[in-house]
Homo-oligomer: A and B are copies of this chain.
């Protein structure tokens, strides 16, 4: 396998490389050491990574040619605010970071968001490297150029576009992922499959609700899923990296009703779970509008449920759906731009909010309720049998 296959390039705004550490090219520690060189490095991580990978972090730190310091960030969803960013900036300042030095985010999406915004603000932007350790981070949050933190209840209200110098993805981190975090990532992978790749969708359908075993990971199934997901994400981001265009982004599939679901559940429902529910009801809207075959919607809902994710929740009401459409119209400059599947592997946009009448959304919600009740019965029968 050539070295080129270990790197996926993103060529916008100077560009950066996403290095995939798939066991055949250089390892993560070696790549990081080479990328950092003799610079000062502020290594930012999470309590979980600091505990599970203490040895790796210590080895990395001692292998670096220049001075480094480890910062353990609090990374609950409620820690994702501007004060966390300011606190990290103060730590970087005390560490004496210079404008050519580097901050490294080794953790999930909240970690990379806080590090990206902080490194984007210090001296108007100093380098940062992302080492995403969760599935969501590896295929979404950790490999993009957007950094955002919540502000007075508004999700990602403050932030920056700030491309990492490099992203390094090592799927071996996934072996220690808790099952709920794995499933959150699978929701994003299902999103990417729905918008661009029926083959990836079929692969996920076949995986089932549990983490791949270490054997399945090492035989490359997991790496293939990560690789294909990264390719789709980078290709979509490249279309309009700074979101200056029409604000029609296929990557927004599953991200119209989900913010309100997360908020309404007081974050009891995770981001990935909310994205899954959003995709299910969006598929039902597509059916109600005659844009998607009922059987295709059934496959999408079954794939969500099959991955151990909820397809529905009590928080999803006609009022929440209406409120969500009003909010995205404001956010997307007057257009709804709701992403709906038109087949597994292909999506389109409902541009006008007027198309999304109360009748259409009510019909979609009722259809989802019926379909998920049917799935639950099937699940009960399955469990009774096993």
**Contact of A276 with B by CB under 8 A:** no
CB < 8 Å: which of B86, B99, B152, B330 contacts A82? B86
Contact segment of A115-123, A192-200, A225-233, A375-383: A115-123
CB atoms of A89 and B158 under 8 A apart: yes
Shortest Cβ gap from A247 to chain B (Å): 8
CB contact between A99 and one of B123, B146, B161, B333 (< 8 Å): that residue:
B333
A93-B157 in contact (CB<8A): yes
Known: A93-B152, A151-B93. A161 touches B98 (CB 8 A): no
Assembly stoichiometry (copies):
2
Contact assessment for A122 and B333 in the assembled complex, using a CB-CB cutoff below 8 Å: no
Verify A146–B158 contact, CB threshold 8 A: no
Residues of B within 8 A of A333 (CB): 98-100
A108 part of interface (Cβ distance < 8 Å): no
Closest to A82 in B: B86
CB of A144, distance to nearest CB on chain B (Å) = 11
Contact bitstring A151-164, B, C-beta under 8 A = 1, else 0: 11010111111000
* Complexed CA–CA distance, A331 and B100 (Å): 9
Which residues of B lie under 8 Å from residue A98 when comparing CB positions? 330-331, 333
- Please report the C-alpha to C-alpha distance between residue A122 and residue B147 in the assembled complex, in whole angstroms: 11
Interfacial residues of chain A within 269-300, with CB under 8 A of chain B in the complex: none
Give the chain B neighbours of A124 by CB distance below 8 A.
146-148, 159-161, 243
Q: Is A54 an interface residue (CB 8 A)?
A: no
Q: Are B331 and A99 interface neighbours, CB within 8 A? A: yes
- Please state if B151 and A89 are interface contacts (CB–CB under 8 Å): yes
Given the contacts A98-B333, A99-B331, A125 and B93 also touching, CB distance less than 8 Å: no
A179-212 to B contact mask, C-beta < 8 Å, 1/0: 0000000000000000000000000000000000
19 A-B residue pairs with Cβ-Cβ distance under 8 Å, sorted by A, are: A89-B157, A89-B158, A90-B151, A93-B152, A93-B157, A99-B331, A121-B159, A122-B157, A122-B158, A123-B157, A123-B331, A124-B147, A124-B159, A124-B160, A124-B161, A124-B243, A125-B160, A125-B161, A160-B160
Partner-B contacts on A (CB < 8 A): 82, 86, 89-90, 93, 98-100, 120-125, 146-148, 151-152, 154, 156-161, 242-243, 330-331, 333
